[in-house]
Amino acid sequence: MNDESSAGHGPAGQAAPARWWRGAHPHRPRGREVSLTPLVRVLAVVVVVLVVVGPTVRIAVEAVQGDAALPLAWLDEAKRQTDLDGEANLPATFSAVLLALVGVALLALAGVRRARGERARPVVVLAAVAGYLGLDEATELHESLALVAEHLHATLGLHNFAWLVPGVLVAAAGGVVVLRLARALPRRLRLRLMGAGAVYLFGALVMEYVTSFFLVDLPGTAELTAPQPVSYILLNAVEEGAEMLGALLALAAVLAELRLRVVDGGVAVVGVSQSVTAGAVRHSGGLGGDPSLGRTAAVDASPGGVVTVSEHRQGHLHGGEGER
């Protein structure tokens, strides 16, 4: 039996199971690597558009709110959909999706680290933190902390921003945990994520506190629809823009550690070549290991669409090409 036959079958003549993560194979063609960072540039354009359009539309609509000759219902809807201070609209949804993308990218990085034999659990926890922040952005969970502040009589006169008091304590405790987890990451990634977190917290806590002094405080939810001073609207744009920027910087930091490797019939998520090679040297004692450590999938004609590729098939995707 030749090597090709024996490599693809087990002892009972059955096909070998597909592997989610590729192992070492010194002669496997590496394929073409594609950077994921261009996605960040596209998302950055969206951030700029939202941060500029949101306050512009709100200021313009509130300036003409008493003019019955205008289609006020349409203008109010445009204001609601673009308002950076609103809920369940375009900016809020985009922010939630952006944080979810950070979580997904961190999970992909965790998979790459696990394949290298490096610690993946800290990265998984960071992915969970990003996912929670995305959920909070979509559902305003942090507003519930105001109940804690009111129960402890610790609102500090902030009223509708009372959640900031316990929020600072929660953020401080969470920050300590995240910093301890980040120690397991490469220095460049650790510093970039710390910088992104600082920008995000600047918007979520510092600018939120500053903005609270310019809000026309109205009972209940009236403040959500009532006109507000231009100073409040602009400061709110800085606040929300800082949060989006922090999430975007975190996504850029993680995607800089990943690549898409395109081979015939499949795509693999892999680490950057330098860090993968270093990991192979540390864990195998030499450079003979394969730097391709991502999960490979191949397009299938079946309704499932995407299936994993076996070790044997991965080794012959290029029709027996030799070592490059």
How much is the pLDDT for 298? 35
Those residues of the chain that have pLDDT short of 70 are 1-30, 142-163, 218-225, 273-324
Q: In what order do the strands lie in the sheet with 296-299?
A: 32-35, 258-263, 266-271, 296-299, 306-308
How much is the pLDDT for 190? 96
How much is the pLDDT for 265? 74
Count the Cβ atoms, other than its own, within 10 Å of residue 316: 16
How much is the pLDDT for 318? 40
User: Across-strand partners of 263?
Assistant: 266
How much is the pLDDT for 7? 44
Domain ranges for the chain, please list them: 3-35+258-315, 38-255
How much is the pLDDT for 263? 76
Cβ-defined contacts of 296-302 (< 8 Å, 24+): 296/22, 296/263, 296/266, 296/267, 296/268, 297/266, 297/267, 297/268, 298/265, 298/266, 299/265, 299/266
* Whether the Cβ atoms of residue 104 and residue 98 lie closer than 8 Å to each other: no
